[in-house]
Amino acid sequence: MNAPIQLWYWPTPNGWKVSIALEEMGLAYEVRPVNIGVGEQFEPAFQAISPNGRMPAIVDPDGPGGAPISIFESGAILQYLGNKSGLFYPTDARARVEVDQWLFWQVGGLGPMAGQTHHFRQYAPAMIKDQRQIAYGVRRYTNETHRLYGVMDRRLRDRDYLAGDYSIADMAAWPWILPSLQGQDVAEFPRLAAWLERVGARPAVRAGRAVLEDRRGNAGGSGKAAEAARAILFGQRARPA
C-alpha cells in the first residue's frame, strides 16, 4: 500500500482547494498543519517544500517514476492530483483547455482580488486607525470582486459547472466565493448562488472544507493574539525565537 500524500495545510480558501480535491479523488492523505498565524510558514522545513513560504503544499511519496515529489502552488497541485487520479481533469485536449483557463482565472484573478477585498474589509480596520486610508482599497477591491462574481454568473448561464462537467476548476473557485466577507449580495448573482449551493452540497466538499476547521483563528479580531497574528501574516515576519 502506498504511503499517503502529505498535505501541508491550514484552513483557508487556498488550503480548502486541495483538501477538497483529495477528498473528491479518494486519495489517501495526512495533514501536516502549517499555522500561518504563528509563523510556521517561515520554518526551513516547510520552505524546503514551498520556497514561496505559502501553503498549501504537498509531498507525494509515490510521485512520477515511484520517486517522492513535492509541489507548491494550489493550481499546480490540483493539476498534479487530477493527473494522478485521472479524475476531474479531462484528458481530451479541448476539455482540458476549458478546465485550465478557469483554473488560471481563479489563481490569477478571483483569488488575489477576493483576497484583497477580504483584507481591506476584515483585517485593515483593525490595523489602521485612520479609516480614510483604507476607503479606496475597500471600494477598489469590492468593486472588482463584484465584477468577477458577474463573470462567473454569466459563465454559468448555460452550464452547471465552470468548465462543463464538475472539475478542479470548481474546486479552486468555490472556496473563494465568500459573499458576506467580501461585501457582495449573492442574490444579485442567481446562477452563481445556485452553483455555490450545488458544489457545497457535495459530501467530499463538505469533508474537505471541515479539515482543521476547529483550529481556524480570527486574525481580524481584537486582542494581543489577533494583533500578533496580523503582524506575522501581513508583516511577513517569522515568529519570535
Q: How many domains does the chain have?
A: 2
User: Which positions of the chain have pLDDT values less than 70?
Assistant: 1, 217-241
Residues 101 and 175 in one domain: yes
What confidence score (pLDDT) does residue 193 get? Answer: 98
Tens of pLDDT, residue by residue over 131-173, are: 777 888 999 999 999 999 999 999 999 999 999 999 999 999 9
Residues 137 and 47 in one domain: no
Residues 196 and 104 in one domain: yes
**241 inside domain:** no
Residues 130 and 51 in one domain: no
What confidence score (pLDDT) does residue 145 get? Answer: 97
Residues 192 and 225 in one domain: no
Beta carbons of 56 and 20 less than 8 angstroms apart = no
What confidence score (pLDDT) does residue 132 get? Answer: 74
What is the rounded distance in angstroms from the CA atom of residue 23 to the CA atom of residue 3?
16
Beta carbons of 99 and 161 less than 8 angstroms apart = no
Query: Which CATH number goes with the domain that contains 189?
Result: 1.20.1050.10
Residues 164 and 76 in one domain: no
Beta carbons of 124 and 181 less than 8 angstroms apart = no
Residues 117 and 172 in one domain: yes
Expressed as residue numbers, the domain containing 177 is 93-203
What confidence score (pLDDT) does residue 221 get? Answer: 55
Query: Which CATH number goes with the domain that contains 213?
Result: 3.40.30.10
